[in-house]
Amino acid sequence: MAGAAAFAAAPALAALPASGEVEVAVVGAGAAGIAAARRIAAGGRSCLLLEAAGRIGGRVRSGPGKFGIVHDQGAHRLYGGGRSALVQLARAERIRLFEPPPGRRLYVGEREARDNEYDDFTAALRRASRAIIAAGEAGRDVAAARVMPELPGWDASVAFVLGPLFASKDLGEVSSVDFARAEDRTEDLGCRDGLAAVLAAAAKPLRIELDTLVRSIDAGGRGAVVLQTARGNLRARAVIVTASTNVLAAGAIEFRPALPRRAADALARVSLGSYERIVFELAGNPFGFRADERIVFKVADQRTAALVGRVNGSDLAYADLAGRFGGELARAGEAAMLGYLKELIAAQFGAAAPVKIGRTEVVRWSADPLIRGGVSAATPGAAASRRVLMEPVQDRVFFAGEAAHETQWGTVGGAWSSGERAAEAALRLFAGAPATPSSPAQAAKKKRRGK
């Protein structure tokens, strides 16, 4: 037997490390991998999701942790409202979503901004994003920083919100075209149960092998792709790879034959910046924050952070450190990050009374070898690279993940729909071949027929 027929007849793999075969292997159980595996299973093909970590979710990770309070260590908002597949899924699963307060609270020195300062900041933000979008839409693929207008007094604050906070990179490292293509993210929802609950619900019907690091992917043989994992080898007709661009560009998975130059370049040019988080206790809401509101500061340079106050109405807050400065702090280590947080809190709020930061949890995504950064942002001149990531390699290696989405990059929703797209492309390989009897879709059909 050859090609799809051989795989259709192969028994599904019970569990690694026993060697086995599957029609489609999916590498990485973040949003993209889970979406891809669901789509493959719904298409009637056997699928196995291989995840190196001991948990699913990737950059979506929630926990009560030592605080005993639900919080998100990575993504914490779903964009796109009712149009989002994940929002629909969460609602169907009765996962509790909520609308966070709109906009951001702005601090100038040790006080909240006055009305005219809010107006100036908002106008400056609009002017800057319009200028970048105009350049991008005109096809000028340059550093977003190069087309920023003069914004006296507000340059650094605006550059921080549009660069590190949005794209995890400073605007000097962000392509204007990539920025212009990004969909609006103002319509957002938080999740009282933690965003990981949404992916956990989505992953329920899937066959997932945790603690299964994929070391190499060999697509050089005839018909099959061989994945060498920490727990044995797996043969598949096709593979969908969802590890982050930084993980792949670092060579953490060896491809045989080597990836075409075009794909390797694209991975490097749609690299992840830095986006780190400190979760910390601020007992008694000393600054009068509203539940889940975002806070930014008027600053003179981008050595700053954004806060989220009273997470889920609790005493927890987030400090998000991103871009070049966030990356520097993450490399310097947890003590450096906590030292900066103390300085920030003292400088912005310390005058009235010294404020005590309680317990803390530092999440350094850049230091996680399975992630290696925040979100992808195309480097100037490289916006077209996202499209390259959507091209199959050897007709059976497909890439997915937030980096492989042109308008929703950097988001959970973008990762999800890129996973679905890659799965559709992989399913086309099986056009005409009978579905695998053991696939979940077939099993469900049989059950309905009472067999």
**Interface contacts to ligand FAD, rule CB under 6 A:** 27-33, 50-53, 58-60, 74-77, 79, 213-214, 242-244, 247, 252-253, 275, 277, 365, 370-371, 374-375, 401-402, 410-413, 415
Smallest gap from residue 29 Cβ to ligand FAD (A): 5
Answer whether the bond into residue 434 is a cis peptide, omega within 30°.
Answer: no
Closer of 35 and 135 to ligand FAD (Cβ): 35
Closer of 41 and 412 to ligand FAD (Cβ): 412
Contact yes or no for 393/259 (Cβ under 8 A) = yes
Smallest gap from residue 136 Cβ to ligand FAD (A): 20
Smallest gap from residue 238 Cβ to ligand FAD (A): 16
| Rounded Cα–Cα distance for residues 232 and 13 (Å) | 12
| Rounded Cα–Cα distance for residues 431 and 252 (Å) | 32
Closer of 113 and 418 to ligand FAD (Cβ): 418
Smallest gap from residue 220 Cβ to ligand FAD (A): 19
Closer of 155 and 209 to ligand FAD (Cβ): 209
Smallest gap from residue 77 Cβ to ligand FAD (A): 4
Smallest gap from residue 166 Cβ to ligand FAD (A): 10
Smallest gap from residue 97 Cβ to ligand FAD (A): 13
Contact yes or no for 50/380 (Cβ under 8 A) = no
Closer of 44 and 419 to ligand FAD (Cβ): 419
Can you spell out the DSSP letters for 145-212?
GGGPPP-TTTHHHHHHHHTHHHHSS-GGGSBHHHHHHSPP--SEEEETT-THHHHHHHHTTS-EESS-
Answer whether the bond into residue 17 is a cis peptide, omega within 30°.
Answer: yes
Say how many C-beta atoms besides its own lie within 10 A of residue 111's C-beta. 11
Q: Which of 92, 93, 94, 63 is nearest to 76 (CA)?
A: 63
Q: In angstroms, what CA-CA distances link 446 with 27, 437, 450, 451?
A: 29, 9, 6, 5
Closer of 4 and 52 to ligand FAD (Cβ): 52
Smallest gap from residue 113 Cβ to ligand FAD (A): 24
Tokens standing for residue 106: 């702005």
Closer of 16 and 113 to ligand FAD (Cβ): 16
The gap between the terminal CA atoms of the chain, to the nearest Å, is 28
Closer of 130 and 387 to ligand FAD (Cβ): 387
Contact yes or no for 227/239 (Cβ under 8 A) = yes
Long-range Cβ contact pairs of 340-346 (< 8 A, separation 24 or more)? 340/305, 341/278, 341/280, 341/305, 344/297, 344/304, 344/305, 344/319
Closer of 141 and 292 to ligand FAD (Cβ): 292
Smallest gap from residue 215 Cβ to ligand FAD (A): 7
Closer of 135 and 195 to ligand FAD (Cβ): 195
Buried-exposed string 347-371: b where 16+ CB fall within 10 A, e elsewhere: ebbeeeeebebeebbbbbbbbbebb
Smallest gap from residue 356 Cβ to ligand FAD (A): 25
Residue position matching structure tokens 């392509």: 175
Q: Write the CB contacts of 262 (distance below 8 Å, at least 6 apart in sequence).
A: 388, 391
